[in-house]
Amino acid sequence: MTLGVNIDHIATLRQARYAADPESPICEPDLVASAAASERAGASGITIHLRADRRHIQDRDVFRLRESITTKLNLEMGNTAEILDIALRVRPEEVCLVPENRAEITTEGGLDAAGQMRALAPAVARLHAAGIRVSLFIEPDPRQIDAAHQLGTAMVELHTGAFANATGPARAGEIRRLHEAALLAHGLGLQVNAGHGINYTNIRDIRALPHIAELNIGHSIIARALTVGLESAVAEMLALMRGTA
């Protein structure tokens, strides 16, 4: 199980002060430095979400990170012509197609791949033609997994938000749902990733799921980094993922 570190919230902090002056010589924090620190700590990739409203990651960030990171770039994006064109120019190793709602604080729920297959198919085909591996951020639902398989994506990323927010008997139900979804996706030949709401406590349940190849974690790691520093925060999460902490 590998770790992709999502650095969107580092960009959120930068935008709070420097949105109007992104070329300022004192503009901070620096996403390139943050990505490098994550890689030094053992991250296997850097994840960023270029949203249509540009609330955190900016176009310039995507190109700078493409040039600087030494692992892989995973670009999360909505299925829009503008962002697709940018992805095809940048050519990240991976693209994860996600739902996007301007009113949301962060991505809420998985992509309805089953209901949007006709709209998704051309984007998936163009990304594949450019040599980019494609993932869909979906609920752990058999219909959505089957849709991803029909679309020919290499991967799915199971949305773990419902699990992260569940308590009591509902939590066991969400773990079971993720377990069954991981088995189904793996059986169809899909790489199984997971993300959303995973933290330093619930990672123990996620670690026990079958066939999870990669986790994409942002908020919890960045929050922990405020106390211990980014490299230590990433290293601590990796130790928990490996069961050595």
Distance CA 56, CA 49 (A): 8
Query: Mind spelling out the 3-state secondary structure of 70-108?
Result: CCCEEEEECCCHHHHHHHHHHCCCEEEECCCCCCCCCCC
Distance CA 84, CA 81 (A): 5
The two tokens of residue 183 are: 């088995």
**Does a cis peptide bond (omega within 30 degrees of 0) precede residue 99?**
no
| Cβ atoms 86, 124 nearer than 8 A | no
The two tokens of residue 135 are: 């993932």
Q: Is residue 76 flagged as an active site residue?
A: yes
Q: Is residue 174 flagged as an active site residue?
A: no
* H runs (alpha helix) in the chain: 8-18, 31-40, 59-68, 81-90, 117-129, 142-151, 161-165, 169-187, 203-207, 219-228, 230-242
| Cβ atoms 87, 132 nearer than 8 A | yes
Q: Which of 39, 157, 174, 196 is catalytic?
A: 196
Q: Which of 39, 76, 94, 100 is catalytic?
A: 76
Distance CA 16, CA 39 (A): 25
Tell me the longest C-alpha to C-alpha distance in the chain.
52
The two tokens of residue 75 are: 């670009």
Q: Is residue 56 flagged as an active site residue?
A: no
Q: Which of 39, 49, 94, 214 is catalytic?
A: 49
Positions marked active-site: 49, 76, 196
